[in-house]
Structure 1
Amino acid sequence: MLIGLTGGIASGKSTVSAMLVKHGALLVDADQVARDVVEPGQPALLQIVDVFGQDVLNSDGSLNRKALGAIVFSDSDKLKQLEGITHPAIRASMLQKIEQYKLLSPNALIVADIPLLYETNQAHLYEGVLVVYVPEDVQVERLMQRNELTREQAIERISLQMDIEEKKARADWVIDNSASLEYTEQQVIQLIKRLGDQ
């Protein structure tokens, strides 16, 4: 079975995906693939430099994420330009990985962790979508701590994504990650059992 996993920024998708893997799922992580496709020498990185200039590179030729983030997170048109380069490369690489998993483990639960699954209209590619949910005020607090942002910066980043309540409403399954890790893991185990029974 192939499912999509999403949620809001700082909702704990990585925590939940790690738990899914611990309990036997195979993971295709869009964030990891996103890092892979902008490695030095990759076509996507060359395109990014063409569009945004040499200032987005570190001295060793790798991508300077902080410099690029400063450009795109304050300008939605530039963010769209960046996504126009990276999203097709990420999607192609992910689909390749999924096909490999299907060949190697036809009966496995395959989970594609995609932060912008709904925003990029990919829900139809999966047999169902799992949303990792926390209320927006929890997102703001966690994002401020994790990325050392001001409240305004955290709210600005969250506002670039679809509202978490809408993601929750659209989901086939929801994992509430706003309480303890034990409670989150209980929900993960129950979900894997339910999916295995289908």
Structure 2
Amino acid sequence: MKRIALTGGIGTGKTHVLRMIRRNGIPTLDADQVSRAVVDVGQPAHHTLRQCFGDDYFLPNQQVNRAALAKLVFDNQTARAQLESIVHPVIRRLIDDWFARCADTTSNTVAIAEIPLLYETNRAEVFDNVIVVSCAPKVQVVRIIKRDKLSAVDAQYRLAAQLPIARKIAAASWVVRTDGTNTETAQQVDRLCLALQTAQ
């Protein structure tokens, strides 16, 4: 089974494209769901995060305050490195386990996992191919502002914290652009899925 990563910049529409791929019958994994599960109450990473960052980054129901923690790590490289050292090894293991289960339990020849920081964490080489979801940076900013309720300055700051989308496109096996209509995006995804499912 081919292990394929789907990545892109913040606000490019990765999760939307992943849903479209899933509707085409290809097994997919949403990395955001994995990251939430890793830091859920009772998980080892949850306890480690509390020890590292303190109670200010936890909600009354004991869940991680993801918004507060996200703001901290975008503003503080040391905090970001601490967070990544805690959660990334666990996430990687869970993703590897998922690919192994797909290979054992499905007849599909490919499976796709969404890995938002694939290039930033130097993980591209462990996958057979990479799909990059892209759009113009100005579109990313508009989407980030709308989705995350951020100011234009904060949206630009978060965008700048990631590798430029042009560099990700240059390293990609396939690119899906989401600047156009939903129909145009769906057509690209359908062509991509057909190519993946018919490739030897």
Q: Normalised by the shorter chain, which TM-score bucket?
A: over 0.9
Q: Does 171-180 or 118-127 show the bigger shift?
A: 118-127
State the distance in 1 between where 2:60 and 2:98 align: 31
Paired residue type of 2:147: R
- Equivalent position amino acid for 2:175 in 1: V
Does 2:127 align with 1:126? yes
Deviations 1:44-76 (A, max 9, x none): 111111110111111121111122123222111
- The unaligned stretches of length 5 or more in structure 2 are none
The alignment covers a number of residue pairs equal to 198
Any runs of at least 4 consecutive aligned residues in structure 1 with deviations exceeding 4 A, and if so which? none
Aligned to 2:66: 65
C-alpha separation between the residues in 2 aligned to 1:4 and 1:106?
A: 19
2:56 is matched with 55
1:144, 1:154 within 8 Å by CA — same for their partners in 2? yes
Report the secondary structure of 2:133's partner residue: strand
Give the letter for the 2:21 counterpart. L
Residues 175-196 of structure 1: per-residue CA shift (max 9 Å, x gap)? 0111001000101111111122
Report if aligned partners of 1:123, 1:129 keep a CA contact under 8 Å in 2: yes
Task: Provide the identity percentage.
Answer: 38
Question: Matches of residues 97-136 of structure 1 in structure 2 within 5 Å?
Answer: 97-136=98-137
Q: Where do residues 5-154 of structure 1 align in structure 2 (5 Å cutoff)?
A: 5-154=6-155
- Letter of the 1:72 partner, please give it: V
Contact 1:26-1:108 within 8 A present in 2 as well: no
The answer to which of 105-114 and 182-191 deviates more is 105-114
Aligned-partner Cα distance in 1 for 2:107–2:99? 11
Conserved 8 A contact 2:26-2:108: no
**Ranges in structure 1 where 5+ consecutive residues have no aligned partner:** none
Residue pair 1:19, 1:188 contacting (<8 A) in 2 also: yes
